[in-house]
């Protein structure tokens, strides 16, 4: 019997990217996997391709409403819904169903962090879909519930955790600035995402308040007993996709010491590529792929380590990361359906 996959939020950016990647998945091509229900909210009843003209192999598919009934009878249910909508649906799906939540509902373990940043009751915590973090891959192999990380925490956590775990940076003084494309806000975003407002300008937002600060902090606290304090600022830039994160922390380590620790952490990781000294990542190099490109430098005059990370927010930052974790949970090759080569220039 083929593994049947349903996608809720299929008309959205994250759901659409999940489907694009799934269409190239070898299990789909071999018939081991099939695409079942494609669900939406207010756009239920419309053809999928009206929202995703690039998904032509699914040209016959019509979006249905999102409910426990329409999502029943699947082996995998992917939820690409706005925050706060996943737990009600997930509760109604059986424990044997693999539920992959692209939203934030189950990422944070501290209920008070959730309440402070999201302003609602905490739904719970699921295994975190970032296999590169220590211990995460093993947990994902045996789970039926996956909380896919936020796009900013994906790049920032990968950029920082080896240095923090090895005690090579002062984790109480981490400053992160991430430049992001507009698709991170979802297709429903209007002002200030109109092309006329995004093109030709860059602007910081969520300064001191962004909800990904506690998620990044949680990921770093998981690898060290030392104090962790993170300042996080996102910057919206005129591009459709991509995130370039710059993470800076005090250090007395040399670049060589840092590079040895990062080689140990990532030499065997299929999607994380540490670039040679002096070479900086760029978002174009990872677009459409599941790759993370990392730069590692030490500013000796300032006593700071400077880590840079490029990801595609919709690929490794959401749908690609989701497929990587889904593969692990289904016992499929972790890299199936995922490219490591981006679209540059
Ligand atoms: N965009 C990104 O880079 C990232 C997104 N995510 C997360 O993925 C999730 C989806 O984001 P994204 O795709 O960008 O958002 P979009 O706004 O592009 O899509 C939202 C989807 O949810 C559906 N939806 C909205 N309200 C309801 C409802 N009440 N009931 C059922 N379906 C509903 C929409 O359907 P309809 O078209 O009918 O309105 C649409 O399919 C969010 O939780 C987001 O935080 C995570 C990481 C990165
Ligand atoms: C440009 C832009 O608005 N980006 C979004 C990132 C969305 C995302 O990845 O994260 P969640 O899954 O936690 O919503 C933001 O800053 O809120």
> Residue with the nearest Cα to atom 32 of ligand 1?
41
Atom of ligand 2 nearest to the CA of 107: 13
Q: So what's the ipTM on this one? A: 0.97
Confidence of residue 196 (pLDDT cuts 50, 70, 90): confident
Decide: helix, strand or coil at residue 209. Answer: coil
Among candidates 261, 222, 259, 247, which has minimal Cα distance to 309? 247
What is the Cα–Cα distance from 160 to 307, expressed in whole angstroms?
Answer: 7
Is pLDDT at 190 greater than 80 in this prediction?
A: no
160/302 same-domain check: yes
66/185 same-domain check: no
Known catalytic residue at 33:
no
Question: Which one of the listed residues 40, 90, 102, 151 is annotated catalytic?
Answer: 151
* H or E element, residue 310: strand 304-311
Q: Give the per-residue pLDDT at 345.
A: 84
> Residue with the nearest Cα to atom 44 of ligand 1?
103
Q: What is the number of structural domains in the chain?
A: 2
* Segment 193-218 mean pLDDT: 93
102/189 same-domain check: no
DSSP letter (8 states) at residue 185? G
Q: Say which CATH number the domain at 18 has.
A: 3.40.50.720
Is pLDDT at 191 greater than 80 in this prediction?
A: no
68/142 same-domain check: yes
The residues lining ligand 1, judged by C-beta closer than 6 Å to any ligand atom, are 9-15, 40-43, 66, 80-83, 85, 102-104, 150-151, 183-184, 186-188, 313-314, 317-318
Is pLDDT at 82 greater than 80 in this prediction?
A: yes
Determine, yes or no, domain membership for 265: yes
What is the Cα–Cα distance from 41 to 64, expressed in whole angstroms?
Answer: 8
Tally of residues, the chain:
345
pLDDT tens figures, 313-325: 999 999 999 999 9
Domain residues for 237?
Answer: 152-313
Question: Which ligand number lies closest to the CA of residue 7?
Answer: 1
Is pLDDT at 163 greater than 90 in this prediction?
A: yes
Determine, yes or no, domain membership for 134: yes
166/308 same-domain check: yes
Among candidates 207, 217, 186, which has minimal Cα distance to 108? 217
Q: Say which CATH number the domain at 213 has.
A: 3.30.360.10
The residues lining ligand 2, judged by C-beta closer than 6 Å to any ligand atom, are 103-104, 150-151, 180, 182, 184-185, 206, 234, 236
């Amino acid at each position: 019997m083929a593994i049947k996959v349903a996608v809720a939020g299929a008309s959205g950016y994250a759901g659409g990217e999940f489907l694009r990647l799934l269409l190239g998945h070898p299990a789909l091509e071999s018939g081991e996997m099939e695409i079942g229900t494609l669900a939406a909210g207010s756009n239920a009843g419309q053809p999928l391709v009206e929202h995703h003209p690039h998904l032509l192999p699914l040209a016959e598919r019509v979006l249905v409403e999102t409910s426990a009934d329409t999502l029943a009878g699947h082996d995998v249910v992917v939820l690409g819904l706005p925050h706060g909508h996943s737990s009600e649906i997930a509760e109604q799906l059986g424990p044997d169903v693999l539920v992959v939540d692209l939203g934030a509902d189950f990422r944070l373990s501290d209920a008070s962090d959730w309440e402070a940043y999201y302003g609602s009751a905490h739904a719970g915590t699921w295994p975190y879909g970032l296999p590169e973090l220590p211990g995460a891959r093993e947990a994902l192999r045996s789970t039926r519930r996956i909380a896919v990380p936020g796009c900013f925490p994906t790049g920032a956590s990968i950029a920082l955790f080896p240095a923090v775990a090895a005690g090579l940076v002062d984790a109480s003084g981490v400053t992160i600035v991430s430049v992001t494309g507009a698709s991170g806000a979802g297709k429903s975003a209007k002002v200030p995402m109109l092309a006329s407002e995004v093109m030709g300008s860059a602007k910081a937002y969520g300064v001191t308040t962004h909800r990904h600060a506690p998620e990044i902090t949680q990921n770093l606290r998981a690898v060290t007993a030392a104090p962790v304090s993170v300042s996080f600022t996102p910057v919206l830039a005129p591009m459709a996709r991509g995130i370039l994160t710059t993470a800076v922390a005090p250090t007395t380590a040399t670049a060589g010491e840092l590079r040895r620790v990062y080689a140990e952490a990532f030499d065997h990781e299929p999607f994380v590529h540490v670039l040679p000294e002096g070479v900086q990542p760029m978002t174009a190099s990872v677009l459409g792929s599941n790759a993370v490109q990392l730069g590692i430098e030490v500013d000796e005059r300032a006593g700071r380590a400077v880590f840079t990370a490029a990801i595609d927010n919709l690929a490794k930052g959401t749908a690609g990361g989701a497929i990587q974790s889904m593969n692990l949970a289904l016992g499929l090759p972790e890299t199936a359906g995922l490219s490591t080569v981006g679209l540059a220039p």
